[in-house]
Structure 1
């Protein structure tokens, strides 16, 4: 990976992070636990 490709990748990750940050909602503890369980189940597959 060249330096330019690396910088482009970082820009893309930052944009995605910003979009996600803007859409942040406060979740209850139960909602967070449910999301984590779903993610763990997907990783095990």
Structure 2
């Protein structure tokens, strides 16, 4: 895999983790779902 693809994947992973932390901080674990995180970072949930 090319280095740029790895960096892109790493950035995406970090944005998902940041969204998860933000949602957990604001609403607790009850507010976290794959669909919610996907919306937060602008991805589809599939």
Task: Name structure 1 gaps, 5 residues minimum.
Answer: 28-45
Q: Which one scores higher on RCO, CA 8 angstroms, separation ≥ 6?
A: 2
How many residues in Structure 1 have an aligned counterpart in Structure 2? 27
Deviation above 2 Å: which 4+ runs of structure 1? none
Task: Name structure 2 gaps, 5 residues minimum.
Answer: 31-46
TM-score (normalised: structure 2): 0.53
Find the structure with the greater CA-based Rg.
1
TM-score (normalised: structure 1): 0.54
